[in-house]
Amino acid sequence: MRLAAFRRLWAAKDLRNRLLITVGILVLYRLCANIPAPGVDRDVLAQVIEGGTFQGGALGVFDLLAGGTVSNFSVLAMGVYPYITAQIILQLLVPIIPALKTRMEEDPREGRQMMEKWTLYLAIPMSFLNAIGQIQIFRFSNAAILPNFGFGGGDLVPTLGTLIAMTAGSMFAIWLGELISEHGIRNQGLSLIIFSGIVASLPTSIGQLWFDENLRIPALIVFVLLLVITVLAIVFITQGRRNIPVMYPGRRMGYRQSMPVRGTLPLLVNMAGMIPIIFATAIMSFPALAASFFINSSTPWVQNAASSVTTVFSTQPPTWFYVAVLFLMVAGFTFFYTDVLFQQQNYGENLKRQGAQVPGVAKGFKTQQYLSKVLRRVTLPGALMLGVVAILPFLVGLLWSALGTSGAFNAFFFIGSGLLIVVGVVREIFFGLETELKLRGYDDTLLVK
């Protein structure tokens, strides 16, 4: 980004106000992230965190993505992830429920508004259920963290108070994200909320590599090298696309007919973004969470089965089975989610309505089949990249932990999933600001070189 671009951004009053509003909302979010949930015993929580009980596990992943709000047991511990989960569920239901599919095809704009409304409605029960899941994982480590948590007797009122406070905190985070999208940087609210959490946790993560004097310099060298290599790989894959040639019909202007126009339809290598990693991590944490309810069963075989499931799906450290299954789930869900999104967009019918055609391919259904076939091939490197990104912190963290650095997972997780989000959000912001400047006549100003 050139210095002239910064000056022009600041000179444009509306853009300057949007940037200041965005920064102010993010500061407010980070301040509210330090508000603890009611009913938590802070002393016991500190002992659990110092012991590293959930470091590297599912809660460790969400703690880094949420900027430390999980380890602090903040009211914002769940961040905006219940909204993302609700969004994924509804998107997967569209091709299954005929009424939703018809509504989206007949009026896409009204269909998107309906989806946004129902996503907010679904985010409320998802927040409530996520709060129960997070609390159960913490209490599995030490039940004294929330001594009055339970749905029976005199514990019902404090339990509901804790769950309602965490649900309200999640909805507050979603509301702040919507404010950023409306009054700040457009369409980047939820992404910036997640981005701020990752960036806020980075100094602490790197600081944990500094604790061991014997491995301090090698750890930082390895971290920087992996950081550079991963950024280059993410940018290369994210920028990758296959341009499909499309012929658009000419337009009639009075008595004259213009010539057909040749355009392209870009098919992205990574259309799914971070969604497959988030969804696969949540699914992988479910068996261990379900088994934790039966770990103290009085029936021997039930207790043994629960203990086995907990061991297999453990992330402290993770088993090779866990790493392999996580890789396969991320890669498989990338194909599945990309295919669902692409089928919803229905490029075959949309191009047919415009009179456009892919050369050598029949219009309509045949075009959709051809594009889907090409997209599945293009998605293969993107799916493999996401799978590697998902297991990278586990692999590098395990190798580095073998040398005695206990904070390896936290630092190296940023190189994996965290860095993918950071790079993606920064790119979108740069491209968005460049578009805003070009709309104001600054055609010679390029933010991204």
Tens of pLDDT, residue by residue over 250-299, are 766 666 666 777 888 888 888 887 788 877 877 777 777 677 667 767 78
Q: Which of 228, 286, 276 is nearest to 58 (CA)?
A: 286
CA 116 to chain CA centroid, nearest Å = 17
Question: Mean pLDDT over residues 391-409, rounded?
Answer: 64
Between 424 and 35, name the one with better pLDDT: 35
What's the pTM? 0.79
Q: Band of the pLDDT at 121, cuts 50, 70, 90?
A: very high
Give dist(CA 411, CA 396) in Å, integer: 10
Q: Are strands 252-253 and 261-268 parallel, antiparallel or unpaired?
A: unpaired
Q: Band of the pLDDT at 167, cuts 50, 70, 90?
A: very high
Residue 446: what pLDDT?
46
Residues 393 and 281: beta-carbon distance below 8 Å: no
Domains and CATH numbers, the chain: 3-251+259-439 (1.10.3370.10)
Mean model confidence pLDDT for the chain: 79
Q: Residues with Cβ < 8 Å from 43, sequence gap 6 or more?
A: none
Residue 107: what pLDDT?
74
Residue 257: what pLDDT?
62
Give dist(CA 132, CA 65) in Å, integer: 19
On the question of pLDDT at 127 being above 60, the answer is yes
- Say which range, 18-22, 76-80, 261-265, 398-402, has the weakest mean pLDDT: 398-402
Give dist(CA 78, CA 377) in Å, integer: 35
Q: Is 299 exposed, middle or buried (0-12, 13-18, 19+ CB in 10 A)?
A: exposed
Q: Which of 421, 423, 432, 431 is nearest to 194 (CA)?
A: 421
Q: pLDDT > 90: what percent of the chain?
A: 10
What is the residue whose two structure tokens read 């980004």?
1
Between 104 and 271, name the one with better pLDDT: 271
On the question of pLDDT at 171 being above 90, the answer is yes
Question: Mean pLDDT over residues 104-129, rounded?
Answer: 85
Kindly state the DSSP code that residue 245 receives in the 8-state scheme: E
Residue 409: what pLDDT?
55
Give dist(CA 369, CA 392) in Å, integer: 34
Could you tell me the maximum CA-CA distance found in the chain, to the nearest angstrom?
87
Tens of pLDDT, residue by residue over 321-362, are 888 888 999 899 898 888 888 887 788 888 888 888 888 888
Residues 358 and 367: beta-carbon distance below 8 Å: yes
- Output the CA angle 353-356-360, nearest 5 degrees: 125
What is the residue whose two structure tokens read 């950023």?
180
Residue 124: what pLDDT?
93
Sign of CA dihedral 43, 49, 52, 53: positive
Tokens of 93: 């239901």
Question: Mean pLDDT over residues 151-179, rounded?
Answer: 88
Q: Band of the pLDDT at 414, cuts 50, 70, 90?
A: low
Residue 11: what pLDDT?
79
Give dist(CA 102, CA 157) in Å, integer: 44
Q: Band of the pLDDT at 26, cuts 50, 70, 90?
A: very high
Give dist(CA 133, CA 14) in Å, integer: 43
Tokens of 277: 């990693």
